[in-house]
Structure 1
Amino acid sequence: MEPLRGDESTVGETSVVTRGCRVESGTPRTVLDTGTRPRCAWATGSESIAASGAAATVTASGASRFADVQAAATALFDRCDVPTDLPSVARPRLFGGFAFHEGDTESTDSPWDGFPGAAFFLPEVQVTRTDGGTWLTTTGTGPTAAADAERRLDEWADRLADVPASAPRGPPGVESRERTPSQATWRDQVGAALESVDDGNLQKVVLAQALRVRLREDLSVPDVLDRLAVTYPDCYRFLLSPEDGGTFFGATPERLVSLRGRTVRTEALAGSTGRGDTPAEDEWLAAELLDSEKDTHEHALVADAIRDQLEPFASSVRIGDRTVRRLATVQHLRTSITAELQRDEHVLSLVEALHPTPAVGGLPPDEALRTIRETEAFDRGWYAAPIGWVDAAGNGTFAVGIRSAVAKGRLATLFAGAGIVADSDPDREWDEVQLKYRPMLDELE
């Protein structure tokens, strides 16, 4: 593990200073447009954040990557000088994510170059916009940490005031597509998984596909996020660009976990159908989904597993009613889950306990992960893995990196998957995956 990298200082020698102020003009988008890497965007509900430049970075790999990031993050925040009057929304956060698998599975043609097993960065510049206003936060490290943080604060306050809001450009257009696997191979893969289900080795496994597209123009991911904000305002919209490589982005409807104090919020999201062309057809499809034996069985597996994963930490776990979550192109079965912890916990302890949920992995977990590794002919990288942020209190929010793509220049690779359980039909599951490509594909075509 590389515990901390900031101004080429060691962990013990690095001082960290944060400064912040409220600004009356400017948007988070301005931070992304500088092109400075690493960079991150995170938006959900009324909160929108953009951050760039690394005051410090945390990277890790292997089975201990969650604990290693947690230890390094705690050590980093313990040394961070933050004004006491800076509101919680403007306080520094570490942004980043994890790979789906704990080991290195990259092929020679992987789009995931530059994405290690885990990577987080403490931004030099962070702009946070909420219903209550917009805040600028800057951080410096090393011997001149305070001066650097204050200089960045002045420079960026002026920059935000001077830069007008930009209108997003349209999609770049798709020139060609390459699917992995083919539909014939997919049928074979699902058939083999169903045999494991019938034999009792598996209850569920989520098999994914990759769609590689060549674009007619270079892709502006910030423009994609602006368009996704219109179509998917209630999803977690994210962008992560490491120091090198491509950019991972998406609009995921699935929260892995949020922690504030001792209150944990998560959800089960599994079982899918399309949207209707009319309100009446929409309602019919939703009712059919709620009555589907196959989909309700798949959903129950996920909800029960999440409850079981939380119970060792919790004094109570509350399971909400099963509902239908409607998105622009798809409808899902959704159950909200809330827990109260027995004692203080770090959000990354919960991330480790919950990843991967059966919604993106399967049951039993070890057998499902083995099946995924042996079946999928591409590297999942950070697809379907935890993406989010953590703060000095150990609070944070992580989403599941689905409805996503990784892009560089004029190449983008989209990912989507389907849960295979007893009674799954390979052709229906194929159609479901194509439906799940739409959020990203619609913004590229």
Structure 2
Amino acid sequence: MKNSLTRRVLTASVGVAVLAIPLAACSGGGGGSSSGGTTEITYLTQSDDANTAQAKALIAAFEKANPDISVKLDTQPGGTEGDNLMKTKLSTGSMDDVFHYNSGSLLQALNPDQTLVDLSDQSWVSTLTDDFKQVVSTDNGLYGAPWGTSFAGAVLYNKKVYSSLGLTVPTTWADFIANSEKIKATGNGITPILQSYGDTWTSQLFVLGDFANVSAQDPNWAKNYTANDPSAKYVNEPAFAGFANQQEVFDKKLMNEDFASMTNAQAMDALANGQAAQYPMLSATIATVQQNEPDKTDDIGVFALPAANASDTSITMWQPNGIYIAKTAEGAKLDAAKKFVAFANSSDGCAVQNDAGGAAGPYVTSACTLPSTAPALIGDIQKYFDAGKTGSALEFLSPIKGPNLENITVAVGSGITSAKDGAAQYDDDVKKQAQQLGLSGW
């Protein structure tokens, strides 16, 4: 497992097939053929069972609605190998006509202005959220349509515990700490704030889940961070807050005593059963409760990790992956490819996505509506969407993600390293990674 809370880590850690994060690269031939009045295009997804099954269902529904177009499915392993193969295919002009891949910084590494078809003139673009548009666009065009739902990095909480103690959802960090101290003061054994360093990746939420608050205070922070602007460092506010908050939780003894060994699955069980009240975590982990204790799924709510000021409090979102068209698709193939992408974001395409299950957040297109069986916590996230209080996780806005963050946050969260030292260590960690990426200014 990589030492980062990226979408790859989520796939490995949560273990929910439908949440597998596409890191596809193509395999097989790219172009397809046209014969007998039927246009053939190819569609690439990654080779895990969940994504292959979704792709087959999408193709079957599309071909039924478009009998003059046939779609050949290609698959490719994910991970770094897949990333490299995809770049090779695009650079050599042998990419499949349509393909499924990450949004955000990994997409930018594909040089989309030169390799992908600009889809900004398509009618479905008007249905997208601004956050998603940002992570599939450059200054020169918009290149992807969403596939799947978003999910949040926030605070999961037990609504029954909150109700029994008369607590309200906090909108400031001070309110969050006050709630946690009230829970501790009851003496009933309920853990105020869960931490689960037995799965070290989970230690990063105080930092990564705070990033929408950073963006709310400084909309240019991610851009300046990528450019190595001295103001955009974790040792400085507003980004320092994530480290400082994690230290405060430890210092005030608001965590479970077994934080060093507890796993994510154990934490979700404790939260669902009311043994704990709050857990900074990804909303995607609700799948653990759905699987193990489905009758308690709707006891779990979610709220944004609060900023110091309520006006800055926003929820951090991990955006869904996208479906893209390679620039090598031309003529009838390009027309067919555009129909295929549009279909994926139509009511019929949304039905395919809903049938797959696994929703962990709102759709980023108004074309899709969640089924009634979706977890209740998604309604909590939707309120932030409706209020315009969302922001993408940093990994979608910058390619820089230091490999040692989870080790640093475990140390800060365990009282081994101060927040100030941890932030400084992480600034050094990302410097090394930025230099490896060959970014200018580093």
State the TM-score, normalizing by the size of structure 1: 0.28
TM-score where L is the length of structure 2 = 0.28
Bigger share in helix: 2
Greater fraction strand: 1
Instruction: Give the number of the structure with larger relative contact order, counting CA–CA contacts within 8 Å between residues 6 or more apart.
Output: 2
